Structure 1
Amino acid sequence: MLDVLIVGGGGAGLTASMLLSRLGVDHLLVSSLQATSVLPKAHVLNQRTMEILSDLGISETIYERGTPPEQMRYSGWYAGLAGPTGDYGRRFGLVESWGCGGLSDDWAAASSQRQTNLPQIRLEPILKARAEELAPGRIRFGHELTTFTTDADGVTATVLERGSGHTYEVRARYLLACDGGRTVGRRLGVVMEGARDLARIATVHLSADLSAFAHDPEVLIRWLTLPHTGGGATMVPMGPDHWGPDSEEWVVHLNYAADDPRGLDDEQVAADLRTALGLEDHPLTVHLITRWSIEGVVADRFRDGRVFLLGDAAHRHPPTGGLGLNSAIQDAANLSWKLAAVLHSHADERLLDTYEPERKPVTARNVQRSVENALNHIVTSQAASIVPGADPETNWRQMRRLWSGLPEDAEYARAVRRAIAGQSMEFNEHNIEYGYTYASAAIVGDGTPEPDNPDPIRLYQPCARPGHPLPHAWLEDDHGHRLPVHDLVRPGRFLLIAGEDGHDWCRAAAKLADAWPLDAVRVGHLDGDLLDPRSTWTRHRGHGPAGAVLVRPDRFVAWRAQEPADTAAQLSQALQSILGQATTP
């Protein structure tokens, strides 16, 4: 019997496979698709995701192939792209985005990894290659789950090898549904709840040299207001070899009303694309046109017995904010160590009950934020007062008020600038991306209040309170070598970080390490196994020199102690509680 069957070979499934491989969990991944995504789809990879991908040994490849940091510092707003006058393509708004390409001190202080950008069409082959390297012969594309049944001990699945028509049976203790909700969730009767069909979008993936029109190499996403049509469009460079204005490929999103038949006709969409961008005769090649509707939905449950839902099978987001793929990868990071702990007899199966209460609130908020980000673009567009169906010159007169410098236009220009500044709720939602917290039976609270945050969307405030992500800090060893505190957490193992006077905690951890996967280290500014030269860890740890923090394998703080009283008993009790164990092993 396998430990785990993974159904689906996208971001969630491939990440789960890689993580389970590193944790020594026997598994098989099947995907009904013949290959990885042929669509650019999601492209922004946030800091939390890059930490996970760094653990898997592929972050450097992703950074090398992704957008250079200096070419993803901003999002820009423009009056169209190209046209007969100099006003076409004029920029009228700019917002720092995702840590400003490494220039933001707050983002640099949050993690040793920076945000990056790589389209899913190019990311997934990297994930797949690494998954195959870690689990040879266990990553099977073109293999489709056709039926499955569950019982008290596991899951029995029938898989069709689509190329040959051969079917085979798989028996596994657990099944991970990473199939976008196409098969597993539907058969279990899982209901997706939330807002649907908020807008209809046609997305065009194309190749063209737009360097003569798309200026500002530091801008990643271009939001186009189109006075000549009264509509709008969004442009994102797709590389692959150059980025910014020199990108060889682009994705352009066009909005259509739900009852507009033009959006269903490829030729009409291609014509609308040329009109929107002002490129009537410019050479371009359309690779693919896809259609989708903006929705924000969350599954009514993330677990059904021995089946767990991850990624799009559990939650689907508008692309605004780039939270969908990142949430999927982070689902896998939350669940994988728990499965390994149970399968390796380090935890009771009750630990698996914490997956839904931890991930569902986080992803539900991500879905809500994605919808709010999408709707806020409507507010920004309305502030510009460009009217669909109006005479183009009327729209242009209105748009030129943004840069006229006339006193009578000052309030209008100010209102538009303020609306654009509000888009920091999408491009600088640092606490949403990185500062989310967990509350479940796998977290032991210490009675301290949640830190006050004047802006819980934009401001991430590091702290080592139970339930919070492990704060980033640069540490030094006795040879002066620098390393991030995150690197001390080893795959599938807990880490006890004691203060400089926490010798008793470390001795207790050494005794308990025979029963649980547990490491320990002392960290202090002047003394310890590792030094905290900038006092960053000392500032965030929330305890004195003799206290300690227990970190889970997914780098979330699970427990914190202020004093070393009866250390072995305290630590043992905390681990038992986190791992769902009724008695000491």
Structure 2
Amino acid sequence: MSENLTTDVLVIGSGPAGGGAALALATLGVEHIVVTKYRWTANTPRAHLTNQRTMEIFRDLGIEDDVLAQATAHHLLGNTVFCTSLAGDEIGRVRTWFTHPAREADYTLASPSPNGDIPQTLLEPIVIGHAASRGSRIRFDTEYVGLVQDADGVTVTVRDRVTGHRYDIRAKYVVGADGGRSAVAADVGLPFEGQMDLAGSMNIVFQADLSHLVEHRPSNLYWVLQPGADVGGVGMGVIRMVRPWNEWMCIWGYDISQPPPDVDDEMAVKIVHELVGDDTIPVTIRSTSLWAINKMYATRYRAGRVFCMGDAVHRHPPSNGLGSNTSIQDAYNLAWKLAYVLRGTAGEGLLDSYDLERAPVGEQIVLRANKSIEEFGPIFDALGLVGESDPEVMRRHITARTANTPEAAEQRSKLQAALELKDYEFNTHGVELGQRYASGAVVPDGTPEPAYTRDPELYYHPTTWPGARLPHVWLGRDGRQVSTHDLAGKGRFCLFTGTAGEQWADAAAKVAADLGVELAAYVVGPGREYTDLYDDWARAREVGEDGCVLVRPDAHVAWRSASLATDPAAELHRVLTSVLARD
């Protein structure tokens, strides 16, 4: 039986990266096929936190409302608790995911989109469902076997896991989004740095009504320190909210140097009861799974016509909540570039920018997630747990912080500093929104990169400097608010200018026609279609009223001009041909 297929793009994998690629490609009208070895989407709620940048992408792709309808709202995410058990001693709390009153303004000003918590089991069907409705051809139970590249395309062999039948799919380009043990990345020889399997962890998904223990301190994460644990003498477990307040997942460690444990229901219930601190609460186990903590990232994401993304190229623990977000952002970055090349409106060189722009981001989040694990050390030290093996002594040390003694006062001070350090794990605004790309798809304007006035990982610094994400401000149209991000995207370039720069808009129309690309121009000013309601754009644009800001389809600034050029059309033509590698 022969069933060889052809397509423009073959996506291998249907998780956050593969599903995100499918949705973006389908929205852009790119012919593609998705294959996944699984029979359906995610069966466990692994990833969950969806940050503002990813919500902006969903907004552009038209699914933000569907995601938010099933997500746990922002205000319920913020009381990250450290305790000996949910029913036991509360050691401290950290306000997280920008719910601290001092951070709410940063969060609200930065984006038109809120963050939210939606488990992967609910997010993936939304993404895949919309992709399929827009033209994605998705083949479940279809396993990647191997590939061969040539000058014109890639031949990929797959196997139907139901029938065992093997067949080939011929594609012009391949996207490898096949997870942390990526066979595609291995087969094309992507170079990696770091190490796999540093430690072992288990996920236990369960149902239990814990509302009486958490409603007064709502959060998506509760960290549990338990002296006497099997791993390392002290266990740091997590009880994670899946749906408030009766669906949960707990995370617990195991010794990866030993044979993996057989986590049956009896063992799983015992672990849950210990972390909750009440063995009378009814618990229903839904699933268990084992996974490893990794610290590995690819230094290159492309090999010829094959591009890898997501966990295939950045492998790390879930600290910071950046994994699935970065995966979706990988897909969004690449999709428009593939679309432009396949349409013939960009040269092949545009695809080189994917590697240059996204590999540094992957490295950053891998190192940052692993560093966040190390930042638990000061908490252990403050509580007197380092170097101690006797569980009873550990418990006494934890309790000792409550005494009215100089020693206890010092312990409380150290604990306060240790908990403040965790701000870096749970408030990652600068990492989420502050990515500044450097590649051939960005044209410098001759100005130095703006300096950071606050910590660049904790705080987002809006700028129109080429390569940065377009700042969000509210503009006016017919008396109603519209975000700059609602004017950007949609698979097209756009240009912002002011009343004194109207010639840029005329030039944009001419250059768009000459190059055969879509380029929307917006003149922002009084009496124009778009008005600067609060003068926020005047403050954010960093160019004169007669200057312009050119924005790519992924809402990153491609180039800007401080003032009106002598020949605006010639200047725009030069810039766009450079960005699109059409030299």
1:16 counterpart letter in structure 2: A
1:105 counterpart letter in structure 2: A
Spell out, residue by residue over 1:436-455, the C-alpha distance to the aligned partner (whole angstroms, 9 max, x if none): 11000110111212222131
Task: Answer yes or no: is the 8 Å Cα contact 1:196–1:297 preserved in 2.
Answer: yes
Indicate the residue corresponding to 1:576 in structure 2. 577
Which SS does the other structure have where 1:197 is aligned? strand
Task: Answer yes or no: is the 8 Å Cα contact 1:500–1:527 preserved in 2.
Answer: no
Whole-Å separation in 2 of the counterparts to 1:499 and 1:191: 46
Task: Answer yes or no: is the 8 Å Cα contact 1:204–1:252 preserved in 2.
Answer: yes
Residue 48 to residue 290, structure 1, CA distance change in 2 (3 Å): same
Whole-Å separation in 2 of the counterparts to 1:488 and 1:201: 44
1:63 deviates by 1.3
Task: Answer yes or no: is the 8 Å Cα contact 1:40–1:120 preserved in 2.
Answer: yes
Residue 466 to residue 391, structure 1, CA distance change in 2 (3 Å): same
1:281 deviates by 4.0
Spell out, residue by residue over 1:89-145, the C-alpha distance to the aligned partner (whole angstroms, 9 max, x if none): x32322221221897100111100011111112211111211111116x01111222
Whole-Å separation in 1 of the counterparts to 2:100 and 2:37: 37
Indicate the residue corresponding to 1:213 in structure 2. 213
Indicate the residue corresponding to 1:85 in structure 2. none
Pairing 1:14–2:14 present: no
2:576 counterpart letter in structure 1: L
1:44 deviates by 0.6
2:69 counterpart letter in structure 1: E
Pairing 1:76–2:81 present: yes
1:350 deviates by 0.5
Indicate the residue corresponding to 1:410 in structure 2. 409
Residue 392 to residue 185, structure 1, CA distance change in 2 (3 Å): closer
Residue 462 to residue 442, structure 1, CA distance change in 2 (3 Å): same
Pairing partner for 2:251 from 247, 250, 253: 253
Q: How does 1:48-447 map to 2 (within 5 A)?
A: 48-82=53-87, 88=88, 90-100=89-99, 104-135=104-135, 138-180=137-179, 181-227=181-227, 229=229, 230-239=234-243, 243=244, 247-259=245-257, 263-266=261-264, 267-268=266-267, 270-386=269-385, 390-447=389-446
Moved more, 546-555 or 449-458: 449-458
2:225 counterpart letter in structure 1: T
1:407 deviates by 4.3
Pairing 1:2–2:7 present: yes
1:278 deviates by 2.6
Residue 390 to residue 368, structure 1, CA distance change in 2 (3 Å): closer
1:530 counterpart letter in structure 2: Y
Residue 251 to residue 405, structure 1, CA distance change in 2 (3 Å): farther
Q: Percent identity?
A: 38
Spell out, residue by residue over 1:234-288, the C-alpha distance to the aligned partner (whole angstroms, 9 max, x if none): 111111xxx1xxx221111112333456845545454344334333343212222
Cα RMSD (Å): 2.0
Moved more, 351-360 or 123-132: 123-132
Whole-Å separation in 1 of the counterparts to 2:353 and 2:573: 20
Whole-Å separation in 1 of the counterparts to 2:164 and 2:369: 41
Task: Answer yes or no: is the 8 Å Cα contact 2:85–2:224 preserved in 1.
Answer: yes
Q: Which runs of 5+ in 2 are unaligned?
A: 1-5
Task: Answer yes or no: is the 8 Å Cα contact 2:489–2:552 preserved in 1.
Answer: no
Task: Answer yes or no: is the 8 Å Cα contact 2:295–2:367 preserved in 1.
Answer: yes
Whole-Å separation in 2 of the counterparts to 1:118 and 1:110: 21
1:405 deviates by 4.7
Which SS does the other structure have where 2:197 is aligned? coil
Moved more, 284-293 or 304-313: 284-293
Task: Answer yes or no: is the 8 Å Cα contact 1:386–1:398 preserved in 2.
Answer: yes
Residue 215 to residue 490, structure 1, CA distance change in 2 (3 Å): closer
Given the two structures, how large is their TM-score scaled by the length of structure 1? Answer: 0.92
Residue 228 to residue 213, structure 1, CA distance change in 2 (3 Å): farther
1:213 deviates by 3.1
Spell out, residue by residue over 1:204-223, the C-alpha distance to the aligned partner (whole angstroms, 9 max, x if none): 11111222333534222111
Given the two structures, how large is their TM-score scaled by the length of structure 2? Answer: 0.93
1:192 counterpart letter in structure 2: F
1:499 deviates by 1.9
Runs of 4+ in structure 1 over 6 Å off: none
Indicate the residue corresponding to 2:451 in structure 1. 452
Whole-Å separation in 2 of the counterparts to 1:405 and 1:534: 53
Task: Answer yes or no: is the 8 Å Cα contact 1:71–1:101 preserved in 2.
Answer: no
1:81 counterpart letter in structure 2: L
Which SS does the other structure have where 1:530 is aligned? coil
Indicate the residue corresponding to 1:547 in structure 2. 547
Indicate the residue corresponding to 2:3 in structure 1. none
Whole-Å separation in 2 of the counterparts to 1:563 and 1:120: 46
Which SS does the other structure have where 1:48 is aligned? helix
Task: Answer yes or no: is the 8 Å Cα contact 2:96–2:427 preserved in 1.
Answer: yes
Pairing 1:47–2:52 present: yes
Spell out, residue by residue over 1:148-186, the C-alpha distance to the aligned partner (whole angstroms, 9 max, x if none): 211111112233222233443322110101111432122
Residue 262 to residue 388, structure 1, CA distance change in 2 (3 Å): farther
Task: Answer yes or no: is the 8 Å Cα contact 2:144–2:156 preserved in 1.
Answer: yes
Task: Answer yes or no: is the 8 Å Cα contact 2:472–2:483 preserved in 1.
Answer: yes
Indicate the residue corresponding to 2:522 in structure 1. 521
1:236 counterpart letter in structure 2: R
Task: Answer yes or no: is the 8 Å Cα contact 1:446–1:561 preserved in 2.
Answer: yes
1:299 deviates by 1.8
Task: Answer yes or no: is the 8 Å Cα contact 2:443–2:575 preserved in 1.
Answer: yes
Task: Answer yes or no: is the 8 Å Cα contact 2:268–2:285 preserved in 1.
Answer: no
1:404 deviates by 3.6
Q: Which runs of 5+ in 1 are unaligned?
A: 83-87
